[in-house]
Amino acid sequence: MRMLRRRYNERFYRLARSDLSHMKVILVPVTPFQQNCSIVICESSRRAAIVDPGGDIERIIEEVARQGVTVDKILLTHGHLDHCGGAKALADHYGIQIEGPHREDAFWIDQLPAQTQRFGFSNAEAFTPERWLVDGDTVQFGDESMEVYFCPGHTPGHVVFFSRAHKIAFVGDVLFAGSIGRTDFPRGNHAELLRSIREKLWPLGDEVTFVPGHGPASTFGEERRTNPFVRDGVTA
Ligand SMILES: [Zn+2]
Ligand SMILES: [Zn+2]
């Protein structure tokens, strides 16, 4: 698995690499919130999934073209504007479907047009995903598949995508390097978020690399050692 991050200066850098694997992840920061949109590429089939295209879709389209891959689908972790604001336009552009998040986030997606104006984002359309996801589902693109974990707390319908083959998880705003998701939004729940992290994410393994919705990648093991909110031994 190779992970690259696209920067404004048109340079790439490598965050992690395993020579045995055949999946490439390119992070494209989008929206004024610098949300980590991930282009996840199955190298054997040259097909890709796009996780959380929050906006700036021309930048995503340009990167997809540069990679020369075919986009199979859009995957959404949760219904916040900076994660799914560009989903409908991108789905229409490629003629592909949207999978995720969990149905409990429908009320967020319905509010996209209003949120767009409030935060001065470019126009975000509301939509209904072709597939709502639940715990235990799998999503597929090319020859790759990822497991779906229901991780409510930051939003009530948040899901996380996990590639067991490549030991990488796309966790949206559940967990960050050194922090956790906000829970002061409508229907946010701090205790539920902590439970999601400890009961759904930690069992996936300390060695798992995760891509958060914002900021740098880390591993579950590093967060279990050092994250002040959820490290082992801390009670909240
Ligand atoms: Zn969020
Ligand atoms: Zn976010």
Distance 174 CA to ligand 2 centre (A): 9
Q: Which pLDDT score, from 0 to 100, does residue 12 have?
A: 37
Whether residue 188 contacts residue 153, with contact meaning beta carbons closer than 8 Å, is answered with: yes
φ, ψ of residue 63 to 5 degrees: the values are: -70, -40
Sheet of 12-17, strand order: 12-17, 2-6, 23-30, 35-42, 47-51, 70-75, 97-99
Q: d(Cα 187, Cα 192) in Å, to the nearest integer?
A: 11
Collect all residues with Cβ–Cβ distance below 8 Å to 228 and sequence separation of at least 6.
178, 234
Distance 59 CA to ligand 2 centre (A): 18
What separation, in Å, do the N-terminal and C-terminal C-alpha atoms of the chain show?
Answer: 35
Task: Give the number of the ligand closest to the Cα of residue 33.
Answer: 2
Whether residue 172 contacts residue 150, with contact meaning beta carbons closer than 8 Å, is answered with: no
Distance 55 CA to ligand 2 centre (A): 12
Distance 173 CA to ligand 2 centre (A): 5
Distance 197 CA to ligand 2 centre (A): 16
Distance 19 CA to ligand 1 centre (A): 33
> Dihedral of the CA atoms 180, 160, 84, 188 (nearest 10)?
-50
Q: Per residue in 116-140, pLDDT tens?
A: 878 777 778 899 999 999 999 999 9
Find the mean pLDDT for residues 17-22. Answer: 52
At residue 235 the predicted structure's pLDDT band, cuts being 50, 70 and 90, is: confident
Distance 55 CA to ligand 1 centre (A): 14
Task: Give the number of the ligand closest to the Cα of residue 212.
Answer: 2
What residues does 6 pair with on adjacent strands? 12
The position carrying tokens 């004024």 is 32
Distance 83 CA to ligand 1 centre (A): 7
φ, ψ of residue 45 to 5 degrees: the values are: -100, -10
pLDDT over 60 (residue 16)? no
Task: Give the number of the ligand closest to the Cα of residue 153.
Answer: 1
φ, ψ of residue 74 to 5 degrees: the values are: -110, 135
Q: d(Cα 89, Cα 165) in Å, to the nearest integer?
A: 31
Whether residue 158 contacts residue 152, with contact meaning beta carbons closer than 8 Å, is answered with: yes
CATH number of the structural domain 3-226? 3.60.15.10
Whether residue 227 contacts residue 178, with contact meaning beta carbons closer than 8 Å, is answered with: yes
Helix ranges, the chain (H): 57-67, 81-84, 87-94, 106-110, 112-119, 190-196, 220-226
User: Residue 8: how many CB atoms within 10 A of its CB?
Assistant: 7
Whether residue 60 contacts residue 47, with contact meaning beta carbons closer than 8 Å, is answered with: no
Q: Which pLDDT score, from 0 to 100, does residue 99 have?
A: 98
pTM over 0.85: yes
Retrieve residue 95's tokens.
């003629």
pLDDT over 60 (residue 31)? yes
Q: Which pLDDT score, from 0 to 100, does residue 4 have?
A: 63
Q: Per residue in 50-91, pLDDT tens?
A: 999 999 999 999 999 999 999 999 999 999 999 999 999 999
Distance 204 CA to ligand 1 centre (A): 22
Task: Give the number of the ligand closest to the Cα of residue 151.
Answer: 1
Q: Per residue in 148-201, pLDDT tens?
A: 999 999 999 999 999 999 999 999 999 999 999 999 999 999 999 999 999 999
Distance 203 CA to ligand 2 centre (A): 24
Q: Which pLDDT score, from 0 to 100, does residue 7 have?
A: 45
Distance 80 CA to ligand 2 centre (A): 7
Q: Which pLDDT score, from 0 to 100, does residue 236 have?
A: 60
Q: d(Cα 104, Cα 113) in Å, to the nearest integer?
A: 18
User: Residue 123: how many CB atoms within 10 A of its CB?
Assistant: 13
Distance 16 CA to ligand 1 centre (A): 25
Find the mean pLDDT for residues 14-26. Answer: 61
Task: Give the number of the ligand closest to the Cα of residue 31.
Answer: 2
